């Protein structure tokens, strides 16, 4: 009997191996990938129920006892992320069916999605720092291939920047990891949490923490390190951008939250201002740059950066309510952000362009689709009762509780600018008249498989807003599990 | 020994960073290789340099015998080398494709 916690890694791996045998059959590729994504989604829920009911799940796949072997651990935060990862892979694989041409899909596209999911899920369930590094590498190498699949010049150019920054981030991660091992003699997250709380603060520990901060900061596209993201995300087909926006940067922020709540607990008077400043700058720079763009994909790419700033702000408060706000916001952002990119894909299918100046009149021709797209746009802007409102509300309340007036004020102001950008998308894309009015607007049909993912994600955004309370309760429990890691340590080390 | 190795690692990091800042993609990839190898040496150094026996577990015993070297940094480095190899192979393939499409090795010459 395979332990439940290993399934998020085994299912994508099995899917990948299976698909390699059926490279020529489009139907098998599509069906198996969708089915596998759905199973991952369900397994995520089963893990969440199990963790919420019976406590943290632990497994030692190599049969070595805890601090020596590789440990797989799922706490509430991991379980939430697993569900979201399964959801994103599900909607993306449904969307891909008609978003790409047949030749593209017959290539290595679906197997790559499976490998990417294996890396992402692995990063969420691992309880070992080096193992996390390995999952990161699994994830980035498949993302390199996905990003450059198709091989246009723009993709090569974007891929090169993306690859270089990710490789540098990996080196920094590995450097920090080596020094961390030299300092503590362990790489097990639970053991590190235990040992770090007994160690005195030292310059070396701060250096190590800074290396991890930079490594995850590059992955999560934080303020001084984000330049690779707008340089590469718009070059690839928008479906792949949607997948990346939902998962890649979020894994970086996941690792950052996990490390800076559980392991690096020293010198908070140094880290807190740093986190809040970086978070604030990320929010402001992202949103202001987005406001000056007219390409739909570029606007949305810059908004990824801006929204990451909110999560860093929540983490930087170092309180349970702050981290809980960051987790809720993370969940909201994965759902809403992916949805806006999928929506951009539909707009491109209808109008053949991403340029807001050339768009217009979508509301008149496609009222249902437009209303559907109104939901994620307004959710990102933070309009009640959608999920974005509660995400921002939680963070702002947490900011006031910690008496961080400045940064909370910045968060509120940035929210206003986000609304500005989103209204710009709505006005330019949907509401204004078509620039070339003479040409009769031929109504193109949008395939059902492209609309269904948008409907699923839009419904979730609404549900997460209306039924916010249970989700807030789970995120608060997840945050307190990490800030007071006694239960985690007890579960992994048995003491 | 620690001093020599630290110096070597420092020089390799510096060389890697310098190469990364060049405009040529070949040099960029060489820089990445330098950084990767410097990191591998750093793990070895951070794990502690000792003159020890090979880390074998005797039959029947649960732990490595006394006086053996720490096996974990070696295992980490081995894994990191394999991963680095794969990434470098991809980087070279990407560089070749880039060169075929754009006809140049100079990043500044290319515009979208």
Cβ(B50)–Cβ(B70) below 8 Å? yes
> What's the pLDDT score for residue B112?
55
Q: What is the per-residue burial (b if ≥16 Cβ within 10 Å, else e) of A277-300? A: bbbbbbbbbbbebbbebeebbbbb
Cβ(A358)–Cβ(A351) below 8 Å? yes
> What's the pLDDT score for residue A364?
82
Q: Does B41 touch chain A (CB under 8 A)?
A: no
E strands along A191-239, which residues? none
**Between B20, B39, B97, which is nearest A156 by CB?**
B97
> What's the pLDDT score for residue A440?
56
Give how far A129 is from chain B: nearest CA, Å.
Answer: 11
Nearest residue on chain A to B29, alpha-carbon basis: A164
Using the predicted structure, report yes or no on whether residue A495 has a pLDDT greater than 70: no
Handedness of CA A148, A331, A45, A454 (dihedral sign): negative
The CATH fold of domain B2-50+69-109: Helix Hairpins (1.10.287)
Give the model confidence (pLDDT) of A443-460 as tens digits. 777 888 888 999 999 999
Instruction: Find, among A407, A375, A404, the residue nearest to A388 by Cα.
Output: A375
Q: Which alpha helices (DSSP H) does A100-152 contain, by range?
A: 102-104, 110-125, 129-148
Give the model confidence (pLDDT) of A111-122 as tens digits. 999 999 999 999
Q: Does A187 touch chain B (CB under 8 A)?
A: yes
- Reported ipTM: the value is 0.92
Cβ(A396)–Cβ(A412) below 8 Å? yes
Mutate to test the interface with A, among B22, B72, B83, B105 (most CBs of A within 10 A): B83
Give the model confidence (pLDDT) of B63-101 as tens digits. 766 677 778 888 899 999 999 999 999 999 988 988 888
> What's the pLDDT score for residue B111?
65
Q: Which helix (H) or strand (E) holds A353?
A: none
SS (H, E, C) A276-344: HHHHHHHHHHHHHHHHCCCEHHHHHHHHHHHHHHHHHHHHHCCCHHHHHHHHHHHHHHHHHHHHHHHHH
pTM of the full structure: 0.93
Using the predicted structure, report yes or no on whether residue A439 has a pLDDT greater than 70: no
User: What average pLDDT does range A62-81 have in this prediction?
Assistant: 87
Give the model confidence (pLDDT) of B17-66 as tens digits. 999 998 889 999 999 999 999 999 999 898 877 776 777 777 777 676 66
Q: Which alpha helices (DSSP H) does A356-467 contain, by range?
A: 362-365, 367-381, 387-401, 405-425, 448-466
- DSSP one-letter string for B50-102: ---B---PPTT-SSPPTTBPPHHHHHHHHHHHHHHHHHHHHHHHHHHHHHHHH
Do the Cβ atoms of A187 and B72 come within 8 Å? yes
> What's the pLDDT score for residue B7?
95
- Percent of chain A clearing pLDDT 70 (strictly above): 98
| Higher-pLDDT residue of B11, A55 | B11
Residues A362 and A122: their CA atoms lie apart, in Å, by: 41
Cβ-Cβ contacts under 8 Å between A and B: the total is 86
Using the predicted structure, report yes or no on whether residue A3 has a pLDDT greater than 80: yes
> What's the pLDDT score for residue A442?
65
Give how far B48 is from chain A: nearest CA, Å.
Answer: 7
**Between B94, B107, B110, which is nearest A163 by CB?**
B94
- A188 in helix, strand or coil? strand
Give the model confidence (pLDDT) of A207-226 as tens digits. 999 999 999 999 999 988 88
**Between A154, A167, A170, which is nearest B112 by CB?**
A154
Give the model confidence (pLDDT) of A364-395 as tens digits. 888 888 888 889 999 988 888 899 899 999 99
Using the predicted structure, report yes or no on whether residue A188 has a pLDDT greater than 70: yes
pLDDT band of residue A441 (cuts 50, 70, 90) is: low
User: What average pLDDT does range A271-278 have in this prediction?
Assistant: 92
**Between A141, A154, A187, which is nearest B86 by CB?**
A141
Residues B75 and B71: their CA atoms lie apart, in Å, by: 6
């Amino acid at each position: 009997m395979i332990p439940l916690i290993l399934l998020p890694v085994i299912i994508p791996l099995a899917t990948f191996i299976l698909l390699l045998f059926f490279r020529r059959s489009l139907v098998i590729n599509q069906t198996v990938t969708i089915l596998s994504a759905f199973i991952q989604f369900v397994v995520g829920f089963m893990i969440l129920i199990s963790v919420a009911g019976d406590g943290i799940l632990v497994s030692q796949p190599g049969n070595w006892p805890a601090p020596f072997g590789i440990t797989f651990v799922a706490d509430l935060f991991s379980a939430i992320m697993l569900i979201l990862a399964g959801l994103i892979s599900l909607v993306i694989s449904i969307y891909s069916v008609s978003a790409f041409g047949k030749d593209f899909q017959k290539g290595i596209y679906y197997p790559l999605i499976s490998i990417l999911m294996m890396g992402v899920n692995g990063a969420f369930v691992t309880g070992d720092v080096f193992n996390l590094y390995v999952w990161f590498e699994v994830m980035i190498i498949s993302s390199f291939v996905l990003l450059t699949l198709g091989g246009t010049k723009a993709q090569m150019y974007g891929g090169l920047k993306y690859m270089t920054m990710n490789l540098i981030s990996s080196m920094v991660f590995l450097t920090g990891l080596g020094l961390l091992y030299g300092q503590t003699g362990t790489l097990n997250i639970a053991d590190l949490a235990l040992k770090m709380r007994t160690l005195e603060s030292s310059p070396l520990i701060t250096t190590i923490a800074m290396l991890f901060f930079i490594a995850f900061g590059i992955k999560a596209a934080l303020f001084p390190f984000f330049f690779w993201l707008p340089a590469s995300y718009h070059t690839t087909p928008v479906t792949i951008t949607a997948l990346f926006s939902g998962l890649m940067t979020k894994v970086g922020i996941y690792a950052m939250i996990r490390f800076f709540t559980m392991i690096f607990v020293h010198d908070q008077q140094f880290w807190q201002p740093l986190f809040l400043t970086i978070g604030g700058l990320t929010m402001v720079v992202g949103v202001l740059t987005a406001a000056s763009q007219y390409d739909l994909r570029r606007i949305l790419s810059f908004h990824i950066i801006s929204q990451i700033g909110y999560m860093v702000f929540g983490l930087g408060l170092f309180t349970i309510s702050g981290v809980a706000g960051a987790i809720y916001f993370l969940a909201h952002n994965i759902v809403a952000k992916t949805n806006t990119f999928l929506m951009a894909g539909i707009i491109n299918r209808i109008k053949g362009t991403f340029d807001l100046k050339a768009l217009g009149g979508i509301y008149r021709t496609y009222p249902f689709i437009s209303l559907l797209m109104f939901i994620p746009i307004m959710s990102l802007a933070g309009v009640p009762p959608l999920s974005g409102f509660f995400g921002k509300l939680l963070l702002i309340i947490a900011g006031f509780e910690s008496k961080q007036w400045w940064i909370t004020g910045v968060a509120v102001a940035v929210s206003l600018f986000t609304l500005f950008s989103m209204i710009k998308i709505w006005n330019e894309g949907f509401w204004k008249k078509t620039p070339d009015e003479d040409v009769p607007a031929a109504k193109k049909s949008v395939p059902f498989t492209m609309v269904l993912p948008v409907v699923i994600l839009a419904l979730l955004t609404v549900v997460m807003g209306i039924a916010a309370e249970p989700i807030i309760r789970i995120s608060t429990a997840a945050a307190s599990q990490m800030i007071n890691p006694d239960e985690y340590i007890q579960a992994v080390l048995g003491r | 020994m620690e001093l020599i190795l630290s110096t070597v690692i420092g020089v390799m990091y510096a060389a890697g960073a310098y190469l990364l800042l060049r405009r040529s993609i070949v040099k960029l990839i060489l820089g990445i290789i330098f950084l990767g190898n410097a990191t591998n040496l750093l793990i070895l150094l951070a794990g502690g340099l000792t003159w020890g026996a090979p880390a074998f577990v005797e039959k029947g015993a649960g732990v490595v015998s006394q006086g053996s070297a720490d096996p974990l940094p070696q295992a980490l480095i081995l894994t990191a080398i394999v991963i680095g190899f794969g990434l470098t192979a991809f980087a070279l393939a990407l560089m070749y494709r880039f060169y075929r499409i754009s006809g140049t090795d100079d990043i500044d010459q290319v515009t979208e």
